[in-house]
Amino acid sequence: MVDETLFTGSGDLSAVDCPATTLAGGESMTCTATYTTTQADLDAGAVDNAATASGTPAGATDPLSTAPSDATLTAEQRPALGLVKSADPTEASAGDEIRYAFRVTNEGNVTVVNPLVDEVEFSGSGELSDVVCPTGPLAPGDAVDCVAAYTVTAADRAARVVDNTAVATAQPPAGVEPVRSAESSATVRVLDPAITLVKTADRAGLTVGDTVTYSFEVTNTGTVPLVDVTVTETGFTGAGALSAVTCPGAPVVLEPDASVTCTATYEVTQDDVDAGSVENTAVATGTDPAGDPVGSDPSTVEITEAPVAGLSLAKTADVDRVTRPGEVVTYSFVLTNTGRVTLTNPTVEEQDFSGRGTLSPVTCPEDVRLLPGEEVTCTATYEVVAADLTGEPLTNVATAAAVDPDDDTTRSDSSRSDVSTTERDDDLAATGFDGRSTALVAAAAVVLGLVLVRGSRWRRNAR
């Protein structure tokens, strides 16, 4: 017979069954018993069993017994936890409460106790409540629900979502390493109506007559649809009239992350070039599902053009040559705006004049506004004196000046005009007549003498 001397199983071991009651010398037989393991045995990690065999030899009265024989059945302990995190609701506005549920499941084959949930990442700007879990053991296959809560703040709107990631832990049987679940996350979309505007222009500089097309890219950067999306100009420095802003598909409805591009046009004027820039500022607006207005930050685009002022001067005289004193030379000064900005108050400054007499002041038209490419003519006069008749030219050098839109003076290069002179005779310097003038005077005297002689004869004959 076989006697069990030790058995650590938590359940009932069957009786030992031997196939015979006698055993001849040298023979052996195998006796058996059965046992169904329990959860407690897995938790314990092993089942120990010790037994002895005994029998009474033929003709003897005292039985014989064997030494104890041990057998240990070791459990393959596999602790494991599963965690599924959820949030209710999955969309929330500022002030709403989010209720988090953490389902912790014993996915191993040993009992664990005191399941806990640890938050490893939380993106909310406020305070998440403590996670509350039931206490006690958790058998394999069983699950418990832990809970926490969070109230959405206004600051969460900027992030657009509240993310929450956690892990579950529990204490396995003694001697087994602590168990930890994989991470589980839940994301709540924060309802955040928002709109942005990016304004651009298709020109980098300013040219009179050019048409600038402004583009207004409006984007729904929030998490809810927007209706009645429009663009409003809030500031424009152009001297002319900006067209109305047009949006395709008006009235515009924008889903989250959707965009629409609106446009407006403007024709550049000379005043814009004179100013050096045109600045345009606008905002985009829409209406959220609650009927509240939503507006973008202002968007500004500035087109600049460095002011380039330029002035040229062309000086001429109305005669090429003077031959006698008293002749009047009229000088013309043509001032041309060779730059890109308007010039005002044109003037001419004489730099050098070789005449021995007095040159008149240079006169220019009053209240002149000289546009690019336009010109104005100023004049001065000079009466030739005898001392000018040297055979050397009358030289006149001048420069022009005008005022640009920044009140800076723009000057031209110098311009020179030469008028040839006829050299006079030195012995006639006092009279101021040259040789040809003397001959003419002599001829006139001869003619006058002939007239007087004939007149005298006519009077005598008449008597």
CATH number of 81-190: 2.60.40.1530
Q: Which residues pair with 280 in a beta bridge?
A: 236, 301
Given a cut of 70, whether residue 203 has pLDDT beyond it is yes
Enumerate the domain spans of the chain.
2-74, 81-190, 195-304, 311-424
Give the Å distances, CA to CA, from 295 to 223, 286, 323: 14, 7, 82
Asked if residues 220 and 254 have their Cβ atoms less than 8 Å apart, the reply is yes
Q: Can you tell me the mean pLDDT for 213-241?
A: 96
- 406-451 confidence digits (pLDDT tens): 999 999 999 999 999 998 765 444 444 444 444 433 444 443 444 3
Q: Among residues 74, 284, 43, which one has the least CA distance to residue 173?
A: 43
**81-190 and 311-424 in the same fold:** yes
CATH for the 195-304 domain, from 2.40.50.140, 2.60.40.1480, 1.10.530.10, 3.40.50.300? 2.60.40.1480
What stretches of 288-414 adopt beta strand conformation (E)? 293-295, 299-304, 311-317, 321-322, 328-337, 343-353, 369-370, 375-383, 394-403, 409-411
- 103-134 confidence digits (pLDDT tens): 999 999 999 999 999 999 999 999 999 999 99
CATH 2.60.40.10 at 311-424, yes or no: yes
Please give the pLDDT value at position 416: 96
Q: Which of 90-94, 123-127, 155-159 has the highest mean pLDDT?
A: 123-127
